[in-house]
Each structure stands twice: as C-alpha cells, then as structure tokens.
Structure 1
Amino acid sequence: MSRTERLFQLMDSLRRLPSPVTAAQLAQETDVSERTLYRDIDSLRGLGAVIDGAAGFGYTLIEDAHLPPLSFDDEELEALVLGLREVEAVGDPALAKAASRALARLQARLPDSQANRLKHAVLSAHRFVQIPEPGIDASALRKACWEERHVSFDYVDQHGAPTRREVQPLSVVFFDRSHCLIAKCLLRDAFRTFRLDRMAELAVSNQFFRPRRVSMLRDALAAYKIDTGKHP
C-alpha cells in the first residue's frame, strides 16, 4: 500500500470508527506501527484536516478538508440512507464495505442536525434471506464491464451442467435473491444472464468490445423484459 493510499484509509477509519479512536485502533486499521500512525496524523493535519486529540487520548475528526460541505432536504437524506443501507444488505462484500464507508463519509460532512438525522434515520433496509456469495471477484467483473473487456469463466447452470463461457460483460444486477451478470454470450451468440454464485475461475481478457456496451445493454434489457425465461 502506498503512503497516499494509507492516508486515504486513515481518513476513512477516522470517519467510520466511533470517536475518539485510539492510536492502536488506527494503527491496526492501516497496518502500520503506532509511531508511523502519529506521523500520518501529523501529515493529515498538514493537509488541512482538523483532527482533535493526542497520543494516549484518542483522535476525533472534526473537519474533513477533502470533501466540500453538503446539505440535503429530509426526504433526500432518507433516500440516501435507504439506498446505501440496501447496498450494505444485498451488495457483494466489496460493495457492502464501500456503502458503509460512504455513509460514514456523508455523515462527516453534514451539518450537525442532519448528521444526527442520518445516524437515526427512519428508513433502513434488512434482508432475512441468505444471499449467495459470488464465486468470483465481483470487483474485477465490474471493472471489466466498465472497461468493456471480454471475460471468461466456468459456469454451472441450474441443472448442474458445467460449461466454460466467454462473454462480453454488460452489467451486474441484483435479481430478487442473487447477483447476476447480464452479458453477450459468445458461445450462444445471444444475451444471457449468469448468477455470480455459479461462476468460478474468472479471467479478464485484453480483448475489448468498446464502445458498444451501452447500446448492447439497452438491447439486452429490452430482450430480457420480453423473455424472462433466459434467466438461468
């Protein structure tokens, strides 16, 4: 991890953890010694972050210079909380953690009254059905979608039949109880959806299909609305 990445991670920890946060906690979060942690705190202060506290007492982030002030009306704030809580509940592990960080970052930049409203929001989201874990690195798959790269993976369909698929990935969506990839399957020469928990051995190719993802996704969604039987 580079020093810049470590400082960003330290800021996220200060936003997310209950304050005051001890140096030992922050050092563990950023995987450094406490001596290095103290230097990093000084570096953040030098960059404009207002951090209260000292060694032996813990630290509290008072003002975050990296983000501009934010303000939302009450309904907008509830919508943001509900959306991020939903991602925490149904997202893959990387997205769920990102949603938690985003909530902490949002709360750090709101006026006190709205920060309290966010913390005790009326709306929330919970799932009581176990959502299957992706069998592949979902972050790598999302990146391949953005970069419009071909990917290949092992796949087991609903009948237990294994295949190796090469596809042009278009979008990752959540269908009811599972995460799915919408893609153009080169084996079937058609749009298909693939459950991420049935995928394994993801390989990202250097072969691109840009700039066709947006138009292809539009066509795939139109086809999917007509023929839901394509959902495996």
Structure 2
Amino acid sequence: MTGFRLGYVPGVTPAKWVRIWAERLPRVPLELIQVTAADAPDLVRRGEADAALLRLPIDRTGLHAIPLYVEQTVVVVPKDHVITAADEITVDDLADELMLHPQDDVLDWDRPPGRLIEERPARTGDAVELVAMGTGLLVVPQSLARLHHRKDLTYRPLTGVPESQVALSWPEADETGELVEHFIGIVRGRTTNSTRGPATPKAAKKSVAKRPVAKKQPDRSRQKPRRRR
C-alpha cells in the first residue's frame, strides 16, 4: 500500500493524529507537507497531497471539507503595551490603535478593527516583526501567535471578531480513498473497532491460524478393573 500525504498550514499541529496513524497503520508511511494557507486548497486539487489541514473559509470547488475545531482570536502586542493590563480585549479597545493587516491574513474580516496601516506586510511573520518594532498591533489565531512567539511580545484574547476554523479537506471524487477514510476516522475520534470506519488495510492484517480441536479422551478413572483368570 502506498503512503499518505498530508498537507498542513502554519500553526496547525497534526502530531496527535500522526501518532495515532503510526499506531494503527504502522506499515503505511505518512508524509507531512507544510504549505501556506493560500496554497493549501490548490495543493489538494493538484493531487500533490491526499488531504490537508487548513483554515476555513476556502473556495470549496472540487473539495470536501469537515470542520474540526475553532481557534481563539488574539491580538499580538508588545509586553509593555497598555492593553496587557486587561485579561481580554474588545474591538472597541482597538479603535484608536494602528493595526497591521498582512496579505496572508487567514481571518474572514468584513473590516479589521482599529486604524489600518496602508502598507500591508506580505506574511504574518513579517507583521510580527513590525509589532516588535512598535509599528502597530496584529490580530491572528492563537496558534499563529504561539508559532511566532517572541520574548518581547505577548497576546490577549480578542472578542467580537471572526474566529479561525480548522478543517480537514480532501478531493471530491465518486469514492473517497481508503487511506483518506482512515484519516477522517482518526481526526473524528473513531476507534479501530468503529463500524463507521473502513476495514483494516490488508497490509496491516495478520492472519490467525485456527487451532486444531483436540479430541475428547474417554474417562478411564471410573472403569472397573478386569479380573484375572
């Protein structure tokens, strides 16, 4: 059986699911492919990955997608910023703040909060560098704030804004491949004995020989001894 190729976008950590895959399908290698949020859907459409962990919304043309979990949205700020005095921030708290809006922003905004800086950095990582320089603040999913962690920066939960939804996506087809079905079962928490999951691949099965049934021997303990003539 061939291997399984799984794409994943920055901030998403597939380690738990990869570990379960290795336990259940030890003979089927799983290859991880890191991909940008913008490129993830096309990676699956082109067949360069069998499935991908990405963030919604996406153009679902030719793709299936099942939501897995929702990420907390946070605002990244310098550690000495006045906002750090609060445990949670609202959109109104950012009304007078200069805000960075990177071109690879994964949040589905009607309009980002605060006063937007006209020049948009290309990537989230570039925007984080600008926050450290005091240029502005940045709103991102919590996983991206952790990914780009710096000692001189921190973040606070932000309410009243879109949240990021992580999903598993795979190509539309008349029949979903067996390995994709296995991974869907893993991310949905199905057990190996679940009737909804596919059968164990033949490569991972072990044949069990039937033990021969021993013939029952007669009980001689109750038989009367023969008399000698």
Q: TM-score, normalised by structure 1?
A: 0.24
The structure richer in helix per residue is 1
Return the index of the structure with the highest Cα Rg: 2
